[in-house]
Amino acid sequence: MTIEINLLPWREEQRQRRSKRFYVALALSAMVGLGGGYAMTWYYDQQLLAQQERHQLIRGRIAELDRDIRAVSQYEAQIETLKRRIEVFQRLQAERPQTVHVFNALAASLEDGVYYANLARQGDRLRLSGLAEDNRRVSDQLRALEASPVFDVPVLSEVESSNGQRRFDLSVDQHMPDAEKKEVAP
């Protein structure tokens, strides 16, 4: 009598168990791989969202800085405008006594028989138009202006005779004496 031992079912069962374990391990590996891939995707999405928020914050700050820069530029322009206005006011304030001084000198140098009709000022140059009784009075007026410490040598540009009087045009440069300049200086 011979006993026959059949190892095939045992081997078959073992092979099925191993196949089952392999498929389970494969399924677990696939699930772990998918889970890891999902986790990596989620992590990178979160990093991307955080970076986008940082970019948005930076863009907001840049916009604020641009508004501040524009405001500063406007303030600087206003400051420059105000500085120019202050300079004009200071110059006008400094010229006030000079103008009074010029008119006083014109009145003091005015000769009898001479009348000023028009006075124009461009910087330090005065242009005068007037009437005189005769040519001698015009000459006397030119000498009187030249003798004044406020005026330089006058230049006669035109003399016309009309209705027995002489109409004349002249120009003269004005200058302030040094003592007067010291009083006016800011």
Domain extent, residue 47, equals: 13-97
Question: Which residues, in sequence order, are bridge partners of residue 121?
Answer: 126
Report the predicted TM-score, pTM, of the whole model to 2 decimal places. 0.48
Q: Give the CA count within 13 Å in the CB-facing half-sphere of 9.
A: 2
Kind and range of the H or E run holding 61:
helix 8-109
Same structural domain for residues 93 and 121?
A: no
pLDDT in tens, 127-179: 988 888 888 888 888 888 888 888 888 888 888 887 778 888 988 998 765 54
Total count of domains within the chain: 2
Whether the CA torsion 6, 7, 8, 12 is positive or negative: it is: positive
Element (DSSP H or E) covering residue 137: helix 135-147
What average pLDDT does the segment 18-35 reach? 95
Task: Tell me, yes or no, whether 8 lies in a domain.
Answer: no
> Which one of 97, 127, 149 terminates a domain?
97
Residues 93 and 140 in one domain: no
Q: Are residues 67 and 123 in the same domain?
A: no
Q: Which two tokens stand for residue 42?
A: 């989620």
User: Where in 3-144 does DSSP place strands (E)?
Assistant: 114-122, 125-132
Beta strands in the chain (DSSP E): 114-122, 125-132, 155-162, 165-173
Asked if 149 and 178 touch (Cβ cutoff 8 Å), the reply is: no
**First and final CA of the chain: distance in angstroms?**
141
The string of pLDDT tens digits covering residues 34-68 is 999 999 999 999 999 999 999 999 999 999 999 99
Q: Is residue 121 part of a domain?
A: yes
Quickly count: other Cβ atoms within 10 Å of residue 169's Cβ: 16
